Amino acid sequence: MTRELIALGVSHKTAPLALRERLALPEGRATAVLAELCAQDSVQEAVAISTCNRSEIYLVASDAVAAESAALTVLAREAGIRPTELTDWLYSFREGEAVRHLFGVAAGLDSMIVGEAEIQGQVKRAYELALVEGATGPITNRLFREALGAGKRVRTETAVGRSRLSVSSVAVELAADMLGDLSARRVLVIGAGENGELTAKALREKGVHTVFVANRHYDRAIGLAQRFGGTAVRFDDLPSELARADIVVSCTGSPHQIVDREELELVSSERDTRALVVIDIAVPRDVDPRVRDLPGITLYDMDDLQRAVAHRRSVREAEAARARTLVDEQVAGFDRWLASLDVVPTIAALRERGLAVVDAVLAENDSRWEGLSDADRERLRVMSTAIVNRLLHEPTVRLKGSAGEDSSYEYVQALRELFGLEIQGDGARRNDVPAGDSGSGAHRNDVPAALLPELPELPEAPALDGERSADVTQIDSRRRRHG
């Protein structure tokens, strides 16, 4: 069975925020997308990654064109646009390019802020979700575990991530650029998740003492406020807190806007001439972008932050070059493993045929050895098996050594023809865990709990049938535009 690895998606490099927020895949949407893709005959394995700066789908496909078309249709529907419109922003990679792209993503080399640490955990959680949903298989299991290992190695062996920059810390720096000393400023953080925590930490490092945390779940707001010496406020009190704040950083995971223009217009009238800096680092956006028109209010969103960090990127490029060398080494190792999958079924079938010959010859001559003891019969079997193993050793070594080379196909076909080998479906079941990994999971939710901790720390518009092949052709023509 042929298999091809595919990666397709959008990121801050290829698509504006307005589109990225429509393609955001929080856990509930990601689960539905994975289930829909895995129901396709052309898709064997699937993982979906969604962060504030990217939404990507990784597939192992028996029919790459059909699988890519299915993924394009699903993403276009999620975005509420036609597939032909989405192809203008989409990038697509296959095989080695897909591997290299994921390893770079996990290492933080493809991030808006090179080396940012949050992406490692986001990739890990995306993989865990797909694993638990039964959408992964031997290739994606190995791929994501090694990608996480590559990310950890880059952070351990290079300085690319040592400054601990994040989207949240850059947002705080942007506020400081606008307002100067922040120590006496009143700051409102909306959202008590991971980005809310990073924001609170960055504010404390800037000497901010007056931090108010608002969250729909008040107990989470209390927990975050206590850790950073702030004060929790109820979500219903948001309008009054907006009126008193100097800086607002919004970073919830809400699928809808939570601060609209009308609300801030009322707030603005209560503030006299006091300036308000609003930084929206949520995707989808928390704040209505029309608030930019209001007097006294300055709004920054993720696109603005991207421009703000452009000059910082050059500072890290030298170290990133070394990190990419490490990623290349990790990619080469994965490529060797992936190439070996083509020869492993033939090697197994060859050895199985040799052992079958041993069994057949011993059975045919059993009556001639009536006087042999059980111990002598076992010695005879061991010796016969050893002869077969030694005879097959050199062909096996040469076949393994040819993996990934042009000669590999010729060797495989020659052995299959000469020995009459029949390979029974060399594809593996979805969610099988490759050799060397602990646990197995052929069924959804049947994943050993011990497996996950072993990971590195860290509106519808379906495509018409006539459109699909053309859409995929357009994706193919744009593969190298990303980055």
pLDDT tens, position by position, 446-474: 333 333 334 444 433 333 334 334 444 44
Residue 152 pLDDT > 90: no
Residue 232 pLDDT > 60: yes
Angle in degrees, 0-180, between the axes of helices 27-38 and 64-79, rounded to the nearest 10:
150
Residue 49 pLDDT class (50, 70, 90 cuts): very high
The pLDDT of residue 433: 45
Residues 6+ apart with CB under 8 A from 197: 224, 227
Q: What's the N-to-C CA distance of the chain in angstroms? A: 32
Q: 307 vs 121, which has greater pLDDT?
A: 121
Let me know: does 423 contact 349? Beta carbons within 8 Å: yes
214 phi and psi angles, rounded to 5 deg = -115, 135
**Closest listed residue to residue 112, CA positions, set 7, 219, 12:** 12
Kindly report, residue by residue over 153-166, the tens digit of the pLDDT.
888 887 766 655 67
Residue 290 pLDDT > 60: yes
* 52: annotated active-site residue: yes
The pLDDT of residue 405: 62
Question: Of 242-256, 312-326, 395-409, 443-457, which has the strongest mean pLDDT?
Answer: 242-256
Residue 67 pLDDT class (50, 70, 90 cuts): very high
Give the lowest-confidence range in 235-244, 339-348, 380-389: 339-348
Let me know: does 233 contact 241? Beta carbons within 8 Å: yes
Sheet holding 54-61, edge to edge: 43-50, 54-61, 4-11, 91-94
Residues 6+ apart with CB under 8 A from 169: 198, 202
Which position among 30, 33, 46, 52 bears the catalytic label? Answer: 52
Residue 281 pLDDT class (50, 70, 90 cuts): confident
Kindly report, residue by residue over 414-453, the tens digit of the pLDDT.
777 877 877 665 444 455 444 444 443 333 333 333 333 3
Q: 420 vs 285, which has greater pLDDT?
A: 285
Residue 244 pLDDT > 90: no
The owner of tokens 């990934």 is 404
Mean pLDDT of the chain: 78
Mean pLDDT of 300-309: 80
Q: 439 vs 247, which has greater pLDDT?
A: 247
The pLDDT of residue 437: 46
Residue 59 pLDDT > 90: yes
Residue 371 pLDDT class (50, 70, 90 cuts): confident
Structure tokens at 322: 């070394």
Residue 60 pLDDT > 90: yes
Residues forming beta bridges with residue 297, ordered by sequence position: 276
**Closest listed residue to residue 319, CA positions, set 118, 108, 121, 480:** 108
Kindly report, residue by residue over 164-181, the tens digit of the pLDDT.
567 787 788 888 877 788
